[in-house]
Chains A and B, each alone.
Chain A
Amino acid sequence: MKNFLSFIIILSSIIFISSCDQIKKMDNTDYYVEGVSINNNTQNTDSVSRKTLLIDFTGIRCVNCPEAHEIINQIKTLHPNRVVAIAFHGTSLAYPIAPYKINLRTDEGNDVISTFGINAIPTGLINNFDKTKLQERQTWAATVDTSLEQNPSVEIKTFYCYNSSERELKTIILVRALKNMPDQNILSVYLLEDSIITRQATVEEPGYIENYVQLNVFRKGITNVWGEQVSGLSKTGDVITKEYSIILDTSWNENNCKIVAFLRNNSNFVLNAEESQYITKY
């Protein structure tokens, strides 16, 4: 009995000692490869493509947030036109304390952050609007990749018209069902602003970047930040259109403003998202 047991133990040890990938040294050029290994159909010009929504909870005094922004850039570079990003600035790390002067926090953003119980940033949501789906930045790339393989169930189009003298933005959101689905869904439409220059804290010396470019900053909900219930999308081909109008605050640069719309089902899973051009461009 004892000998047999010892034999089993020695055998299992040999088997698992050999389970090590790295005994062969990786050549420097083998550490990384071009492009993306999973999911090569990143350019979908004919049929409607599924766009993934990436929500980033961030702050100007959050030292790890630049890394999260970099990851979003990498993802968008590798999947051009397939990823829609929204940055909610909030928690105590977004509070403007000198010399961080600009306040990118919003009441609506704070509402989402406190309802989701978010204390630690950066953290994010990919195709979800539910606090149990919060994900750390290291897993965003992989999650976005798999999400882009899905076939979209709705198509979203954004139309807009901006009156610069009154700073009034009118927008129409069109949603078309691509398959039969449950009737009740939630539509959220936000106004975001790109290229806001702020000081941003970072992990590298000296601990901050003076003129950092903030992107995808949530400025205001064109619908309520929690979205509004819409119905009328139960069968393939059903179309709903919604019209909205907001006035842009004078501190926002309209040349960098864009509209983002996303539709989620009642389980808070995002079915599709869309991002417009800058509202002063046609």
Chain B
Amino acid sequence: MKKFFFLSFFVLVAFYAKSQNSGNISGNFQVIMQSYNNDSIIGATQPAEKVRLNSYADFLYTNKNFSAGIRYEGYFNPLLGYNQKNDGFGFAYRFAQYKLENLDITVGNFYEQFGNGLVLRSYTDKYIGYDNAFDGVRLKYQPFTGMYIKGLIGTQRYVFSKTNLGYSQVINRGLVRGADLELDLNQAIKKLNESSTFILFGMNYVSKYQKAENQYVTINDSTFTLNLPQNTGAFSTRLNISRGMFGFSGEFAYKAQDPTAENNYIYKPGTATFLNFTFSKKGIGLIISGIRIDNFGFRSDRNASLSDLNINYIPDITRNHIYAFASMYPFVTQNNGEMGISSELTFKIKKGSKIGGKYGIDCRLNYSRIHNIYQKQINEQTPLNQSGTDGYITDFFNISKELYYQDINVQIFKKFSKTFKMTLIYQNEIFNYGVLRGEPAEPNVNANIGIIDFTIRLNKKNYLRFETEALFSEQDMGSWLMEEVEYTVSPHWFFSVNDQFNYKNPDGKEAHYYMGAFGFKNNNTRIQLSYGRQREGVICIGGVCRAVPATNGFMMTITSSF
């Protein structure tokens, strides 16, 4: 009943808006449907329904200073590999927003980010099934030029579930309140108005409240009840300075005692440090990033795990790769502890130079390396991370010998002529499978990856692309070879066939993962249909991941905006 009310309300608003000639309605929808077959060779299973579907529709109404929106989600039933707790269909997101002079008020659901997100970031990404939207009130206020204040209070989304009266399925919800201050010093301070040094300063404070419920701990064969804090605060400060070709940005955050399931109920406060140095001028760019995370998972439910109910977001300093094998072993950000460095140099060999040729060459070198943080036992008797204690002692400048991830890669792109362009990539990766996939018995994966991707222009509208990738490794599933051919007819059609061949598998389970796809698009709509085998793996965006099960079958995606 409720959903019909909402939908008809929206339709009425739409017609009203048109009659007024001042309001505007826009929106989009997306349907992803997948059929599943049993395939014992790759380990694909068929759920009882055989076909599953995820669908979303967003509607947005704006009229001068007012805007309102609503999102409909439908899971018939949720696709394999996505959170199975999402269930049913209905309105999962709604908000109303009004802007006065310097004040902006939002009620209902909203997404928000403070600084880099180290303390607070709420966002959504359908490919990884992530959505931690707030439900509450948010104010944005600009008291003076250059000063921006944000304040919010609310609870977070867990899943959308019709059978549990809407999307508030969490039994004992946490309440989050936070405020952020950002100062654009060049705007705020008269003397700096014309300065060519840009300075941005920010700080924020967030506190969460959650009722304490019984949680037990066993110490020396006796069972005790933990004394859990109900309010936990975290705060951070950040500074961005840039001048000409150089830039610096840093954020430091501190979190009070927060014993949770994720950190094994230890009482140590947490810290997070994120630093970036950049140098860039036309034709060359360099960035060096450093990160240190020490017990910095921050969730609005102390019992939550995986990607649920995060208040904050730990940035992933490693490179998010584009190609299939380069992204087979992606880094997963470690809330409990990680310390690492990443650097990337991009430059363009000039057009017209001897090596550059007519169009120049784009080059990129990237290196990242991440370890665990240094941890020492509190005392002889207490093991590391024992529940009900401070967990461990750490040292800011020391680093653990335990390697989590290393990635060295080089990419070169050259357009040879109007009809031919090519990308070449070499990558070497060391991936700590035990920590990053949660399977401690597995050894680290050492992989060497080579990729060649070239495109041939047949004529103004028709292009043909060939891609070859190879991954050499002796761990996990072994070595792979991939071939892909893609034919596109601008602007509407594409066809592709692709085979990923696991040609050398340590368990002797060699298999071809073939896939054929074609798609149609016009300005606002995209339809894509594919058929074949999908290998088991993970999809990660920004360090947040979703496990993809092996599947065999059809997949259809329709997206459209209006």
Residues of A within 8 A of B (CB): 2, 5-6, 9, 12-13, 16-17, 19-23, 26, 28, 30-38, 63-64, 70-71, 73-75, 77-78, 92, 114-115, 117, 119-120, 132, 136, 138-139, 141-143, 145, 201-208
Contact = CB atoms under 8 A, between A and B. Distances in A.
A113 to B, nearest CB: 12
Contacts of A22: 229, 231-233, 256-257
Given A33-B227, A37-B225, A74-B223, A136 B303 contact: yes
Contact of A36 (B172, B214, B302): B214
B396 interface: no
A207 B164 contact: no
Q: Chain B binding site: helix, strand, loop or mixed by DSSP?
A: loop
A38 B84 contact: no
Contacts of B225: 32-37
B151 interface: yes
Contacts of B389: 28, 31
A21 B43 contact: no
Given A12-B151, A21-B232, A208-B441, A139 B227 contact: no
Contact of B207 (A19, A32, A204): A19
B177 A19 contact: yes
Interface residues of B, number: 60
Contacts of B216: 71, 74-75, 78, 141
A143 B216 CA distance: 12
A32 B224 contact: yes
A20 B177 contact: no
A32 B177 contact: no
A63 B388 contact: no
A86 B224 CA distance: 24
Interface in B265-289: 267
A31 B226 contact: yes
14 contacts: A9-B151, A12-B151, A22-B232, A32-B224, A34-B225, A35-B225, A73-B218, A77-B223, A115-B48, A119-B80, A132-B87, A136-B261, A201-B441, A206-B440
Given A2-B143, A22-B256, A138 B215 contact: yes
Contacts of B209: 19
Given A32-B217, A206-B441, 13 more contacts: A5-B141, A31-B259, A35-B224, A63-B439, A71-B216, A92-B43, A117-B47, A132-B87, A136-B261, A139-B171, A141-B215, A142-B214, A142-B215
A20 B206 CA distance: 10
A31 B143 CA distance: 43
B264 to A, nearest CB: 9
A69 to B, nearest CB: 12
A6 B304 CA distance: 36
Interface in B215-261: 215-219, 223-227, 229-233, 256-257, 259, 261
A6 B143 contact: yes
Contacts of A78: 216, 223
A100 to B, nearest CB: 11
Contacts of B438: 63-64, 203
Contacts of A92: 43
Contacts of A30: 227
B441 A31 contact: no
B43 to A, nearest CB: 7
B205 interface: yes
A146 to B, nearest CB: 8
B163 interface: yes
A132 B163 contact: yes
Interface in B411-453: 434, 438-442
B179 A13 contact: yes
Contact of A207 (B102, B141, B439): B439
Contact of B388 (A20, A23, A31, A132): A31
Nearest to A116: B84
A281 to B, nearest CB: 25
Contacts of A120: 84
B552 to A, nearest CB: 15
Nearest to B303: A138
B103 interface: yes
B84 A119 contact: yes
B213 interface: yes
Contacts of A119: 80, 84, 549
B213 A142 contact: yes
Contacts of B171: 139, 143
A184 to B, nearest CB: 22
B221 to A, nearest CB: 9
B434 A207 contact: yes
Contacts of B103: 5
B218 A70 contact: yes
Contacts of B230: 21
Contacts of A13: 151, 179, 205
Interface in B504-560: 549
Contacts of A31: 226-227, 259, 267, 388-389
A40 B377 CA distance: 35
A204 B440 contact: yes
B305 interface: yes
B219 to A, nearest CB: 7
Contacts of B87: 132
Nearest to A64: B438
Interface centre among A21, A145, A201, A205 (most CB of B within 10 A): A21
